[in-house]
Amino acid sequence: MNTSPERVKVVVIGAGQAGLSVAYYLRRFELVAGQDFVMLDRAPGPGGAWQHRWSSLRLGTAHRVNDLPGLAELGLSFDTADRALPAKDVVADYYGRFEEHFDLQVRRPMNVRSVSNEGVDLLVRYEDLSPQPVEELKTRGLFGRRRKTFEAPQTVGAPQLELSTQFLVNATGTWGSPFVPFYPGMGEFAGRHLHTSDFSSAEDFRDQHVVVVGGGTSAIGFMLELEDVAAGLTWVSRRPIDWIDRQELDLEGASAAVAMQDEAARSGRALPSIVSGTGVPKSRRIAAGIERGLLVARPMFDRIEGDRIVWDGEQQGTARADAIIWATGFRPELRHLAPLKLREKAGGVMVGQGAAWSDPRVFLAGYGPQASTIGASRAGRMIARQIMAML
């Protein structure tokens, strides 16, 4: 550990849409990246969570990717991006160019382990995940250290670093915190459990019987991709699918989702599903899938038994399963903030206008009504202005 932590005015954790938006406005307010504020990102390269998505995913087949503020200055827009290329590659390219153009000096791959109080400041403990020579690891004696309270276990051999800061912007999103609900028999399932975050290619399921769980765009995308690959497909959802007879979401639907997220965030409750507030638009591809009987969701099964899922009661029956894909969403990744005790008994963090109500030094960008799928960029200016007013 450094004996004297580097000190800056602001630390931004995460370089996805929300983090980059905040950083852009901090630069507009003439803060200097690398001196006044530091961005830490766990990923190996630019692109936020998009860089981890499967290669067959294209722009326009999932939630809309909103332009970053200032992206037009580079002559770029996701509305005119090449939709024949993998979305992960397009987003990584655009974000990388954005970081370079505005000189954001993102430090990566850096994994934040904890944020704790240090008097009037906050202490950010993180680790450098860059490859380290074995000889250097032994010299530093980094093997076998015990974890500290509230901190994630150290990555073996990773240099442990510290930053002291006046303000923290947490923009870690949700990709690192997948949610899988519990159902009886999960532990005895003879096949494979996978989450959306584990999906790589439809070919991995060639000639298998696959169950897709979830009622959002990811589940629908998996069904469409697996249709001509899997030996059998079963789609189940915990709630009826709210189909919308439009190609894309309208402003009314988006506003409803924002209102639901905002109300939950302000009250400190766990955040609701975005899809529950927006519904699922029927694109031409989706409408065709419904018409041919592919996109018809069955009610959620009651249990898993060996190599099959089982419905009890009125929905009695079984379906074979070699693999279950849990497209059941994500939760905000906030474990590193545990020492600050921001989480309420209701399961969430009380957040208003992007700021944690219990600690005015902490801002949560992309959380609740600022989630990336419904406009994380709008939070950037709001958060940056509040920080500048308190510096």
CA neighbor of 99 nearest in space, from 44, 53, 52, 39: 39
Task: Specify the pTM.
Answer: 0.84
What digits encode the pLDDT tens for the residues 343-374? Answer: 877 767 888 888 899 999 999 998 765 555 44
What pLDDT does residue 132 have? Answer: 64
What pLDDT does residue 372 have? Answer: 53
CA pair distance 211, 327, nearest whole angstrom: 10
Angle at 354 between CA 348 and CA 360, to 5 degrees: 85
Tokens of 314: 């009125």
Below-50 pLDDT ranges, the chain:
1-2, 134-150, 249-253, 255, 262, 264-266, 373-374
Helix (H, G, I), strand (E, B) or coil at 308: strand
What pLDDT does residue 4 have? Answer: 78
Find the largest Cα–Cα distance for the chain. Answer: 65
